[in-house]
Amino acid sequence: MLKLPCPLEPPLIEFDSIHVNSISDASGIFIGTNTQVNWSTSGKTNNGLGEIDGDHNYVLYNINTVYDNDIIDAPYTKGDLIIGRV
Confidence category of residue 22, pLDDT binned at 50, 70, 90: confident
pLDDT greater than 70 at residue 1: no
Cα–Cα distance for residue pair 61/83, rounded to 1 Å: 41
Residue type (1 letter), 67: Y
Closest CA to 31 of 21, 16, 43: 16
How do residues 29-60 score in pLDDT, each as one tens digit? 887 788 888 777 767 777 888 788 889 998 89
pTM (2 d.p.): 0.34
- Residue 76: per-residue pLDDT: 61
Where on the phi/psi map is residue 16: left (φ > 0), alpha (ψ -120 to 50), or beta?
alpha
User: Using an 8 Å Cβ cutoff, are 18 and 29 in contact?
Assistant: yes
- Residue 25: per-residue pLDDT: 72
